[in-house]
Structure formats: C-alpha cells, structure tokens
Amino acid sequence: MNQLRSWYDLAVKKGGRTTVGVSGLHVDMIGRFISEFLDVTTPENPRKDLPLALTLRLAADDLKAYYYEAITAQPGQVSPRSKHIDDWFWRDTIAAKVLRAIKQVCINSDDDKLRLVGTRFLVPMVQADG
C-alpha cells in the first residue's frame, strides 16, 4: 500500500473524491487491520459498532478500492472497471495474496460470520484460484 500512496493521493486530487472509506477506517489503518488476520485468528475490531466480520468485509472493499484508484492514476491506465485492472489486482498484488490467505483463515474460523465473509465476500469466485 505504501508504494501506491502517491498514486492514490494523485487519484483523489484529480478526481476530487475517493471511494475508499466504507469501512470507516483511516486509509493508513486498513492494511494493518486486514493483515492482523494473518497473525491473530481474531484481531481486535477497530469498529465497536459493527461485527468483526462486517468490518473485515468493508476494509477489504476499501483495500481493493485503494489499489484500483492508485493504479488508474498512473499514466496510460484504463477505466477502473476494466477486466485488465481486475486481473492485475488479483494476479500481481500482495494485497490479493493477503486476501486469499485471509479467506482461508475465515473459512477455518469458528465464527459463522467470518466463515461467511471468507466464503463469499473477500475474493470473487472468478479469481478464487489465482
């Protein structure tokens, strides 16, 4: 995420807005929170008003939005809705590898809601084998 920060900031400046933020977590906290699932099966939830599974789902959406916005700010890139960008994200980024690993953590969880998020919401079925 840090390597893409200047591109993300440029995208926000050029567009005058961002789609990152549905989780309610500051952009600097998103990656840290998500990666805690690799170290601790059940990390502390930074959102006391939401279930942990929903916070994770929304943070994962923010993570993807961050990457998509950052890459589209780079010269010569195409629309963020492009299959090319989807393929880049799911094939070439550490973020996608982390989300795939967390998917397995969630699927193996004792928490029904985390299992549901892992099964259905972290990695699109078309990208699941990556």
Is residue 110 classed exposed, middle or buried when 0-12, 13-18 and 19+ CB atoms within 10 A define those classes? exposed
The domain limits of the chain are 2-127
| Residues 12-41 pLDDT 10s | 999 999 999 999 999 999 999 999 999 976
Contact 41, 31 (CB under 8 A): no
Instruction: Provide the whole-model pTM.
Output: 0.91
